[in-house]
Amino acid sequence: MDVQKILSAVACIFVLASCGNKKSTSSVFPENGALDSSACLGQAIQNKFIVQWEDGKFTVESAANADEFTKDFVEPNLEQIRYVEFDRHLQIEKTNEVSATAFADSWGQDKISARNVWAQGVYGQNVKVAVVDAFVDHTHPQLAPRIAINTGEIPDNGIDDDGNGVVDDYYGASFVSVPSNNQTPSAHGSHVAGIIAADPRYGTVEGVAPQAQIIPAQFIANDGGGSLGDAVLALQYSASRGAKIINASWGGAPCVASLRNTFQELQNKGILVVVAAGNDGRDIDVYPEFPASFNLSNQITVAASTVSDFMTSWSNSGFGFVHVAAPGERILSTVPGNTTAYMDGTSMAAPFVTGTAALLWSARPQATAQQIRTAILQSVDVSAGHEFKVNTRGRINVERALQALKQLVP
């Protein structure tokens, strides 16, 4: 199925006029027994189901099988349900941990001219950014001051003090439904969080927006696995906590109606979502990767650039669905255990854009997500012979983006 057919089918599902008129169990749960869903069922979790309700909220429900779920859950709640699909396994792309480099530790921050914005007193202050990812080490000295504490919650008392449906989310929340046997925390989420907002007063990493607040929303287990339903719940939680920007440095969802619907709900709430393009070295206009290929108006999809300002060999690309490039090679950031590491990946490029958006929003709090996105896309650096295979042909420049935003929002 080509990209246009996939997106058209998903759009048809989302509007849930159901491409028909009368609501029924088959119209809200079209995958159950549908012949054309077989290509997607390989990753389906046969006893877990993602439910989107008519009020826009999502839940993840369990039953012995799809038929029992339809009879005992969907039928009694049909008028309140908008859409149902199977939950699915996701395996997050691995990023490469690399050895130390001769390049300056903050070469990426310098390349995008972040220092010139900091000099104007713009640090991302008062902007909440959700890291929907793996574990974020809230005890790391460079991350601890930047965690958005949920003051309505009392930590570690086993009670949902603020009544938001999540127990003990004082430092953020975990939506991992199937924990890994691996007891070593994944470094991925902490590395992403540090690129966005590591506090340079307490270590060597300079976050792009070093006064932004991080909301950890974990759905990736220590082995790099997760599920579509867990991702949807983490995204929904991020919105409920007041995130202005969500960083999604992951991909791999093959059948994507619930995920796209979630992105649409985030768009309706004015939230910007920054997505990694992926590390397969392919054109995602032709070979789509989700959520990178959604191309929604509240989304920026990011490719990875090198220190010499070329596209990395392994970065995904696309003149349609990938919007900008950002530093993604040999990036130093925080990892669990009060330490740092260098990593490669579009997972590292995306948080450079997320940090840029946080800087812009702190300078112009009244700006909309679309204005922030427009300012970033209109202000990229494009150098002759260094053009990127992305929609804008360029790599982000936060100083120029701030100038562009000031024209959009005086």
Catalytic residues: 133, 188, 347
**Which residue blocks in 106-156 are alpha helix, DSSP H?**
107-111, 114-118
Q: Are 59 and 77 in contact (CB under 8 A)?
A: no
Distance CA 185, CA 83 (A): 34
Cα distances from 274 to residues 6, 74, 344, in angstroms, run 21, 33, 17
Helix (H, G, I), strand (E, B) or coil at 404: helix
Close Cβ partners of 71 (under 8 Å, ≥ 6 residues apart): none
Structure tokens at 21: 């008129």
Give the strand order in the sheet containing 272-276.
Answer: 173-174, 213-218, 128-133, 245-248, 272-276, 299-305, 324-327
| Cβ contacts of 50-55, under 8 Å, gap ≥ 24 | 50/84, 50/85, 50/86, 50/87, 50/228, 50/229, 50/232, 50/258, 51/81, 51/83, 51/84, 52/81, 52/82, 52/83, 52/84, 52/258, 52/261, 53/80, 53/81, 53/82, 54/79, 54/80, 54/81, 54/82
